[in-house]
């Protein structure tokens, strides 16, 4: 996860949570300072997982699909992140006793680690996060 996707998603959701209107990808992109097409790509993921709603056509744009206090950051994370937090594994030598087993044990560990993070993020709602702004 050496990328900017989580930051982008949270930024988008924060903007939507603090505005009544539908926001266009161009407007959002102006706030984040990235390309509108990147915003639309991110919105596409958030939308397909029921976190935001988008409207096509003139006057279209995005809005939250549910109240900010019903959006857990763990849900945002789950939508954004696919790969394990702790990274990838090697393709070790199967002729080695350790090499043969380690990936299965590493993946178990990776799962435990991911779960710990999800548990933490499950204690914070988008509304909580937005309340930190002054």
Partner DNA sequence: AATACTGTAATAAAATGAATTACAGTATAT
Partner DNA sequence: ATATACTGTAATTCATTTTATTACAGTATT
Tally of residues, the chain: 134
Binding track over 91-130 against DNA, x by CB under 7 A:
----------------------------------------
- The 3-class secondary structure across the chain, one letter per residue, is CCCCHHHHHHHHHHHHHCCCCCECHHHHHHHHCCCHHHHHHHHHHHHHCCCEEEECCCCCEEEECCCHHHCEHHHHHHHHCCCCCCCCCCCCCCCCHHHHHHHHHHHHHHHHHHHHHHHHHCCCEHHHHHHCCC
CB nearer to a second copy: pick between 66 and 108: 108
CB of 128 to a second copy, least distance (A): 10
Binding track over 24-43 against DNA, x by CB under 7 A:
xxx-------xxxxx-xx-x
Contact 50, 65 (CB under 8 A): yes
Binding residues (CB under 8 A) for a second copy: these are: 1-8, 10-11, 14-15, 18, 30-34, 73, 77, 83, 85-93, 96-99, 101-102, 105-106, 108-109, 112-113, 116-117, 119-121, 124, 129, 132-134
Binding site for DNA (CB under 7 A): 1-5, 24-26, 34-38, 40-41, 43-44, 47, 54-62, 87-88
């Amino acid at each position: 996860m050496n990328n900017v996707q989580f930051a982008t998603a949270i930024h988008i959701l924060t903007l939507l949570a603090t505005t009544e209107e539908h926001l266009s990808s161009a407007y959002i992109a102006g706030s984040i300072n990235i390309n509108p097409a990147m915003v639309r790509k991110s919105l596409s993921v958030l939308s397909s997982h029921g976190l935001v709603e988008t409207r096509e056509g003139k006057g279209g744009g995005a809005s939250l699909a549910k109240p900010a206090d019903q959006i857990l950051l763990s849900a945002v994370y789950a939508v954004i992140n696919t790969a394990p937090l702790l990274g990838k594994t090697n393709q070790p030598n199967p002729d080695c006793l350790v090499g043969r087993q380690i990936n299965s044990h590493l993946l178990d560990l990776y799962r435990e680690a991911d779960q710990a993070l999800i548990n933490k993020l499950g204690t914070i709602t988008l509304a909580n996060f937005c309340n930190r702004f002054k």
